Amino acid sequence: MSEDGTAIAADGTDTTFPRLLAGHARVRPARTAIREKDLGIWLAWTWSQVADEVRAIAGGLATLGFERGRTVAIIGDNRPRLYWTMAAVQALGGVAVPLYQDAIADEMLYVLGDAEIEIAVVEDQEQVDKLLELLPNYPALRAIVFDDPRGMRNYREPQLLAFDELVKRGRAYLEAHPGFHEAEVAKGRPDDTAVMLYTSGTTGKPKGVCQTHASLIAAARGDVGFDGFGPDDEVLSYLPMAWVGDHLFSYAQALVAGFCVNCPESSETVMTDLREIGPTYYFAPPRVFENVLTQVMIRMEDAAPIKQRLFRWSMAVAKRVGAKLLDGRASDVGFADRVRYFVGDLLIYGPLRNVLGMSRIRVAYTGGAAIGPDLFDFYRSIGINLKQLYGQTETAVYVCKQPSGQVKLDTVGKPLPGVQIRIADSGEVQVRSPGMLKEYFRRPDATAESITPDGWFMTGDAGFFDDDGHLKIIDRAKDVGRLVDGTLFAPQYIENKLKFFPHIKEAVAFGDGRAQCCAFVNIDLGSVGNWAERRGIAYSGYADLAQKPQVIALVRECIEQVNRDLAADPHLAGSQIRRFLVLHKELDADDGELTRTRKVRRGFIADKYGVLVEALYSDATHREIETQVTFEDGRKGVLRADVPIIDAAVAPSVHAPLKAA
């Protein structure tokens, strides 16, 4: 593909999603388009069935008085009917607004109001309850369509409508208005907004990112071309529908390439469903890969000694040669090692890939956060082609990808076809790409702040290109700070290094404008709990375990390892962690401490635990604190704890001159 502006525009400006759907229904009507597991059975719908369902849903929306250009909220787990609703909304020239299904009612209120939602299509009673709770504050919501009727029999609110009823009305409407759907689809323009995805709101209120049919289709076409996806591919869609990653992967790319999307039975059964489906293309944030690996390691530690030894031997072989074989550099691998790897594949890697549901994977991607070296190597060494990509909601995740065979741990790959990247003087990465947003919804101020007058999107990430032309991202540009002595302080870089230890779940680093770097740590209850059990350390829960001296010693070892790593880097040696504490409570999105995409909200945490931060920067050896917590049912309670504060050893910098500064 060419890099000049006009050719990029031509990529996606010829069609819309409803037209792509009609195309698949024509070209491959009997091929499976989507599956869902229900009552233990995988149900399948062909492209022509999907097109028919979408037509009926669109008819149903028309009976609700839905008008071109208006919005519909979509809230729930990944269900075929919710994806179809997206297509139906777009067929009528509307804008689909998927919301995070685990958001609490108050968080939804803002988005509903901002997007001027009048109709919401939701999965089940849980979502209906949240919306009904908001009705007094948001009376504009005039229709709530629910998919799963369970528990809904005694609801009498006039806004409620069962999905089946919507479809029934839609079919009746289509009979009375033949040609309605086709005429509406024909009116759609590629530069209409197709979907509005709300940014997670690490800073300020969430903003609605308006993506057009053209930009999403251009991005999806680029992706599909890059890795050669086609109708034979299978994906499992299990990430939140409101997240741009899932939107691209389960909707845009699926409609462009015509591959099959599989919806899991429930969020708890994803691992089982993954294994049953065996997708060929897989996308997950590092956290998911990490959880899977933690599970494997915990299970291995409980295995018989002989199995453990076999596993360790195989993994050592894999670590040495697996990635080379995967990258097609077989000439670098000796004959003996090739035989060993073959044996390992027969006994361990193959069965392990099968258990993980990754036997058929051709391409797996991760992105959105840094991935730990051990984690990344593990998957690649057992023969899973895991690669990294870079992008954001505003660029339809279409900026950089690692080409197969050119995978590096600490970069996010090369610019994709049609993407231009420049590094601003501030170190910020700026992008011009076919997948760029149209605007932030009704926020010209925010749009102007994010797009330069000459049309470059400001990512807000700090990074640079390495010698091979790969982009390397170090931190958010605004988060990169300095200690009082002028040493560079990249908090996320330090936090990520900490989080790569299986025992550490979250970390928050402080240091900007201060004399030294200090950190809060959250232990991983599963991993540390198992570690404690095997050592006969009794504990009653998170708060108790977190304060055990043995656990604190364990965390201290991790911190000191990170300090040694930092000491090796001339720019960061001065930002080693001097003091730390293990938090008495797990950071939680319900308490506002994490975003819905589970990124730590550093400023909020610094305010909320101000007492502890102050103690870190004093001589105190412990500090008492009271914390408000929100339980799952919405009640609030108070947690009291006396948190010990620990000094960590600092490694000598190998770069003496810089340390002296």
Partner 1 sequence: MTEHAHNPGRRIGDTLLSVDNISLAFGGVKALTDISFDVRAHEIRAIIGPNGAGKSSMLNCINGVYRPQQGSITFDGQRFDRMDPHRAARMGIARTFQNIALFKGMSVLDNMMTGRNLKMRTPLLLQALYVGPNRREEIEHRRKVEHIIDFLQIESVRKTPVGRLPYGVQKRVELGRALAAEPRLLLLDEPMAGMNLEEKQDMCRFILDVNDEFGTTIVLIEHDMGVVMDISDRVVVLDYGRKIGDGTPDEVRGNQAVIDAYLGVAH
Residues at the interface with partner 1 (CB under 8 A): 38-41, 150-156, 162, 265-266, 268-269, 272, 632-633
Task: Map tokens 């919710």 to a residue.
Answer: 82
Q: Per-residue DSSP letters for 44-111?
A: EEEHHHHHHHHHHHHHHHHHTT--TT-EEEEESSS-HHHHHHHHHHHHTT-EEEEE-TT--HHHHHHH
Least Å from the CB of residue 265 to partner 1: 5
Q: Which is nearer to partner 1, 266 or 621 (CB)?
A: 266
For residue 40, the minimal CB distance to partner 1 (Å) is: 5
Q: For partner 1, which is the closer residue by CB, 41 or 638? A: 41
Which residues does residue 624 pair with via DSSP β-bridges, in sequence order? 642
At 552, which helix (H) or strand (E)?
A: helix 549-567
Q: Which amino acid is at 505?
A: K
Please give the span between the terminal C-alpha atoms of the chain, in angstroms, as a whole number: 49
172/168 Cα distance (integer angstroms): 6
* C-beta closer to partner 1: residue 328 or 541: 541
Which residues, in sequence order, are CB contacts of 363 under 8 Å at separation 6+? 227, 229, 280, 281, 282, 385, 387, 404
How far is the C-alpha of 479 from the C-alpha of 472, rounded, in Å? 16
User: Closest CB to partner 1 among 40 and 178?
Assistant: 40
Give least dist CB 301 to partner 1, A.
Answer: 17
Tokens 């149900």 sit at which residue? Answer: 43
454 Cβ contact partners less than 8 Å away, ≥ 6 residues apart = none
What are the structure tokens assigned to 177, written together?
A: 């208005």
CB-nearer residue toward partner 1: 162 or 606: 162
Q: How many CB atoms lie within 10 A of CB 40?
A: 7
Shortest CB 112 distance to partner 1, Å: 25
Q: Which residue's CB is nearer to partner 1, number 292 or number 396?
A: 292
Smallest separation (angstroms) from partner 1 to the CB of 588: 16
Give the shortest CB-563-to-partner 1 separation in angstroms: 40
Question: Which element (helix H / strand E) includes 430?
Answer: strand 428-432
Nearer residue to partner 1 within complex by CB, 35 or 438: 35
Which of 95, 396, 58, 388 shows the shortest CA–CA distance to 253? 396
Which residue number, 9 or 160, has a Cβ lying nearer to partner 1? 160
Q: How far is the CB of 477 from partner 1 (least distance, A)?
A: 41
From CA 241, how far away is CA 348, in angstroms rounded? 34
- Please state the closest distance from residue 633 (CB atom) to partner 1, in A: 7
CA 580, CA 152: separation in Å to the nearest integer?
50
| Residue showing tokens 């899977």 | 292
What's the min distance (Å) between Cβ of 32 and partner 1?
A: 22
Alpha-carbon span 300 to 309, nearest angstrom: 10
Closest C-alpha to 621, from 642, 637, 599: 642
Q: In angstroms, what is the minimal distance from the CB of 642 to partner 1? A: 25
Q: Which is nearer to partner 1, 130 or 340 (CB)?
A: 130
Q: Which is nearer to partner 1, 155 or 226 (CB)?
A: 155
**For residue 188, how many C-alpha atoms fall within 13 Å in the half-sphere facing its CB?**
29
